[in-house]
Each structure stands twice: as C-alpha cells, then as structure tokens.
C-alpha cells in the first residue's frame, strides 16, 4: 500500500487529457498538473545539484595507476551533461519522475579502489561494461523478474529504509549530525552539531529552514518543499554577507563553523564555457591485460550488484511516495525505467564521471506533486544549463537543500504502517532492511540483508516453496557480495 500524496489533486477527469503532450506523459491520468511537474522538477534539481560540485571533488582528488588526475572543471561539465541527458531520457522513455546523475559511493569505489590499479580510461571502461551487462539483464527480462520476485511488504520496507537513509543524508550534509573526532575512544560515533551544540550560522540556517518547511507542509502550502529550499538559500546568502562564515575548509584546514560545500554568495561570474574533453575517454579491454581477469571481474560484479539493487530500491521508494505502485508494488513502465538506468550507467563511464544512477533525492520532487516524466524534463534542462551556469549552481548550500531530504524522509517513513509487524517472517527481514540502509549508508546493504534474512527465515520455518526461485539466486549473490572482501583476499 502506497502512502497518499501530500496534496489533493485538482486535475480534470483522467479519461480526458488536455492535449497530446498531456496524453503522452499521462499528466492528467496520474492526477497531476503541469505546474506541479515544474515545481517537482525544480525541487529535485535543487536537492541534487550538489553532485555537479561533489562528483568532481571525489574523482578529481584521486590518481590512477599511472599517477594521473582528471580535470575538475571537465568533470563538472561532464557530470552536468550526463545528468541532464539521462534525466531527460528517463522522462521521455520511462515517463517516471526519477532523476539520474553520477552515483555517490560508486564514484568513490571507482576513484579509490579501481582507478589506482589501472588507468582512468580502463576504470571507466569497466563501468561501461557493467552498464551494458545490466542493460542485457533488462532486455532479457531478468532484472524485472527479480524485482517482481521480492515480496510486496519487503518492497515497502525498502521504501521506508530509503526514507530514513534520505534523512540521515540530509542531517549529515547539513552538519546537524557529525562524526565525533575521537570516535575511536568513545562508544558514541556521532553527535549533534559541534560538540553537541548548534553554534554555527550554517546550522542555524538549516534549523530555521527545516522548521519553516515543516510549517509549510503541515499547512498544506503548495510548493512547500521548494519554498523551504529557496527561503533557506536567501537566508544563507544574507548570513554569509553579514557574518562572512566561509567554507568548511580554509587553506586546507577544517573550519567546523563553515558551510559544508557551497558558500552561499552571489557569484561574480554567471556564464562559463564547459570543458567536455573527457567524453569518450574510456577503454574496455586494457584493464584485463594489465591486472589480469579476476580483479576487473570482481570490480564489475561489485558495480553491478550496487547499481542493480540501488535502482530497484529507489524506484520503489519514489513510486511509493507518489502512490504510483500497483498491487505488486511495481511502478508503471518498470522495464523502460530499468533500461534507461542501465544506459545511464554506461553513459557515465563513457563520459568519465563513473556510473550514473537514479537519485533517491527525486522523492523531493514527488513530494512537491511530480508524478510524470515532465518533472524530469525540467530537472534535466537545469542540469544542462548548469554546464554553462556552473557559478549559479553553487549558490544553494547543503544546509538549505538538506531541509527537503529530512521532510521527504518523514513522508516516506509513514508507509511503515502497512507492514504486518505481528508476522515475524516478514517483520524481521523488513526491520533489517529499514535499519541497515541508514546505519550502513547503503541501499544495497539494506536490500541484501532483507533478502538473505527472508530466505533464511522461510527455510527455517519449512516454507521453502513460499520463496520465489529467483530470490534464492539473489540471496546467493548477496552472500557473495557481502563476502567479497574475504574472497578477494583468498583468490587475488
């Protein structure tokens, strides 16, 4: 059972679309309006625009096996280009309000584990191979079949877990929750703000922005989340102009009172020419001859498992938030959605920005009313403009955008009521799924724990026939995924 959308629809009869554009994207049929789609697209962009800055910092800060680095300006331009094109493709083909961009976690894997053992071109070639393999799984129907094999209540748990994951992302990005510096010497790994106190201007901006957004949502104000982001950004710009807070790192030294990533100030330069020199800089064959077949194979497997199940979880969460799932917990045009996602993975490798994947931050747009691919057109165009208007994309700080993630986390959390907590056979796997996503900072880890425990519980109860055959295979793959460290230490 999906949760209800935050606002009532004023759309006309779904049987009578306004025009061909409406009919193609099913705007009226899904109970939406063009204004809602635009608001949703804007909200999604603002909550994930940080990737244009963060992905270049992660990839650009690493060196490959030959000691070479990638150009940060070129990475920024390519990140925005791929995000824009793939998000638009998802809107036109998948017609689903789910934006795509370079995947966090995957980019760190590419930067710090894969690239140091080969060249950047070789590492990106493995990403391309992974994307092609996932596309083959989609076209053969296997990926969709695996998705449908997952029990409905476990899919609900995936959505709830992602909601909590979004919440912790928002709290951490805003600096409201921070790792304690001497965590190795204490039983408490994280804490509130700076030494348990809200003593910085950016934290105050986040708290005020969150409270404003909550009030707007409670009062059912249209565009509440987007208004909250914009209001928080304006406040941040004023605060920076008056207090001159500065970034979180100054001359290489940490400044805990500074802004987490973007310093909210009006840019001196608005338009810049993008550097697209990294496009096509990949090689799919050399890595296999340089380091042997086993290392690339393990890396491709890890990338494949991560992309394969992260997208499934994100798709469920967004569909659940927008009441777009059928009785089996499947969103419309699931095959097309998964196909575009696999194409995006390969496109990310081909553009040297690592695997591109679906972003759970898209739920912020859905919470604003987005229900169709039209929202993606808005988000995608903004990403394409970000290639030229990169300075403007740096105005919104984490502390302003993160308010949306926390509120959306609450909205997604409400679906937890549909899980039967009296039935331990599903409740325990659901609990592990929900808990491990935020606590391990990984969607795949949560799904893996849920699937494995579900299979084990059913076997222990003598109900092996109640488990879909494909789910046994998925459980085995996840066991290999979790044990890849010991396996690599033995065979490599």
pLDDT digits (tens, 9 = 90+) for 199-217: 899 999 999 999 999 999 8
d(CA 115, CA 264): 33
| Gap between the Cα atoms of 170 and 397, Å rounded | 12
- 188 burial (CB, 10 Å; 0-12 / 13-18 / 19+) is exposed
- Rounded to whole angstroms, the Cα distance separating 453 from 450 reads 5
| 269 — pLDDT class (breaks 50, 70, 90) | confident
Question: In terms of Cα–Cα distance, which of 295, 340, 318, 437 is closest to 134?
Answer: 340
Express each pLDDT in 211-254 by its tens digit.
999 999 899 887 788 888 889 989 999 999 999 998 888 877 88
pLDDT tens per residue across span 396-413? 888 988 888 898 889 888
Query: Contact at 8 Å (CB) between 365 and 379?
Result: yes
Residue 148 binned pLDDT confidence (cut-offs 50, 70, 90): confident
Other beta carbons less than 10 A from residue 77's beta carbon: 27
Q: What is the pLDDT of residue 86?
A: 98
Determine the distance from the C-alpha atom of residue 313 to the mean position of all C-alpha atoms in its chain, rounded to a whole number.
Answer: 10
- Residue 353 backbone dihedrals phi, psi, to 5 degrees: -115, 15
**Angle, helices 142-149/469-482, rounded to nearest 10 degrees:** 100
Mean predicted confidence (pLDDT) in 128-142: 92
pLDDT digits (tens, 9 = 90+) for 448-481: 999 999 999 999 999 999 999 989 998 998 898 8
How is residue 155 written in tokens? Answer: 């899919």
Q: Closest by alpha carbon to 31, among 51, 65, 2, 57?
A: 2
User: Helix, strand, coil: what percent of the chain each, to 5?
Assistant: 65, 5, 30
Give me the sign of the Cα torsion angle 123, 128, 129, 131: positive
Tokens 């796997």 belong to which residue? Answer: 429
Q: CA 93, CA 333: separation in Å to the nearest integer?
A: 9
Band (pLDDT 50/70/90 cuts) for residue 5 is: very low
CA distances from 360 to 300, 384, 406, 492 (A): 23, 20, 12, 35
Q: Are strands 253-254 and 356-358 parallel, antiparallel or unpaired?
A: unpaired
Mean confidence (pLDDT) of the chain: 87
Q: How many CA atoms lie within 13 A of 133 on its CB side?
A: 17
Q: Of 257-266, 294-303, 381-390, 446-455, where does the model show the most confidence? A: 446-455
Handedness of CA 312, 315, 321, 323 (dihedral sign): negative
At residue 78 the predicted structure's pLDDT band, cuts being 50, 70 and 90, is: very high
Region 288-298: what's the mean pLDDT? 77
The CA-CA-CA angle for residues 46, 132, 98, to 5°, reads 25
Question: Which residue(s) pair with 247 in the sheet?
Answer: 259
Q: Which residues contact 67 (CB under 8 A, 6 or more apart)?
A: none
> Do the bridges between strand 249-250 and strand 253-254 make them parallel or antiparallel, or are there none, so unpaired?
antiparallel
pTM of the shown model? 0.76
- Torsion angle of C-alpha atoms 463, 466, 471, 477, degrees rounded to 10: 0
Q: Kindly state the helix (H) or strand (E) to which residue 408 belongs, with its residue range.
A: helix 398-413
Phi and psi of 392, rounded to 5°?
Answer: -70, -30
CA distances from residue 306 to 255, 260, 342, 447 in whole angstroms, order as listed: 33, 27, 12, 10
Residues paired with 102 in a beta bridge? 356
Angstrom distance (rounded) from CA 425 to CA 312: 22
Give the pLDDT of residue 7: 42
Beta carbons within 10 angstroms of residue 490's beta carbon: 8
- CB proximity list for 43: less than 8 A, separation 6 or greater: 225, 226, 229, 364, 365, 367, 368, 370, 404
């Amino acid at each position: 059972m999906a949760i209800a959308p935050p606002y009532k629809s004023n759309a006309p009869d779904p049987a009578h679309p306004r025009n061909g554009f409406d009919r193609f994207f099913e705007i009226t049929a899904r109970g939406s309006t063009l204004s809602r789609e635009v608001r949703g697209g804007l909200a999604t962009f603002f909550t994930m625009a940080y990737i244009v800055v963060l992905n270049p910092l992660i990839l650009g800060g690493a060196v490959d096996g030959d000691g070479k680095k990638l150009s940060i300006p070129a990475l920024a331009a390519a990140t925005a280009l791929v995000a824009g094109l793939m998000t638009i493709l998802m809107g036109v083909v998948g017609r689903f309000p789910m934006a795509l961009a370079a995947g966090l976690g995957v980019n760190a894997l590419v930067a710090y584990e894969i690239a140091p053992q080969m060249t950047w071109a070789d590492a990106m070639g493995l990403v391309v191979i992974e994307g092609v393999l996932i596309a083959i799984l989609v076209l053969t129907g296997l990926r969709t079949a695996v998705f449908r094999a997952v029990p409905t209540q476990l899919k609900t748990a995936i959505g709830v877990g992602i909601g909590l994951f979004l919440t912790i992302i928002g709290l951490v990005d805003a600096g409201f929750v921070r790792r304690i510096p001497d965590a190795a010497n204490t039983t408490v790994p994280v804490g509130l703000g700076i030494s348990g106190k809200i003593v910085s201007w950016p934290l105050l901006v986040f708290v005020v922005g969150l409270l404003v957004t909550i009030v707007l949502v409670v009062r059912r104000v249209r565009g509440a989340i987007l208004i909250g982001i914009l209001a928080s950004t304006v406040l941040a710009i004023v605060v920076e102009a008056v207090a001159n807070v500065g970034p979180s790192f100054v001359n290489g030294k940490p400044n805990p009172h500074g802004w987490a990533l973007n310093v909210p100030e009006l840019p001196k330069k608005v338009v810049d020419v993008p550097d697209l020199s990294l496009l096509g800089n990949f090689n799919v064959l050399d890595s296999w001859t340089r380091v042997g077949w086993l290392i690339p194979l393990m890396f491709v497997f890890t990338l494949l498992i991560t992309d394969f199940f992260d997208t499934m979880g994100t798709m469920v969460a967004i569909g659940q938030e927008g009441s777009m799932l059928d009785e089996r917990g499947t969103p419309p045009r699931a095959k097309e959605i998964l196909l575009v996602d696999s194409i995006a993975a390969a496109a990310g490798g081909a553009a040297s920005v690592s695997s591109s994947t679906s972003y759970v931050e898209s739920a912020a747009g859905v919470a604003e009313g987005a229900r169709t691919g039209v929202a993606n057109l808005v988000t995608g165009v903004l990403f394409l403009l970000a290639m030229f208007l990169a300075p403007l994309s740096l105005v919104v700080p984490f502390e302003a955008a993160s308010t949306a993630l926390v509120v959306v986390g609450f909205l997604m959390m409400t679906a937890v009521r549909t899980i039967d907590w009296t039935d331990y056979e599903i409740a325990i796997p659901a609990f592990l799924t929900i808990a491990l996503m935020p606590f391990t900072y990984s969607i795949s880890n949560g799904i893996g724990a849920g699937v494995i425990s579900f299979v084990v519980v059913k076997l222990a109860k003598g109900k092996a026939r109640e488990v879909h055959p494909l789910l046994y295979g998925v459980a085995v793959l996840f066991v290999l995924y979790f044990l890849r460290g010991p396996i690599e230490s033995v065979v490599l």
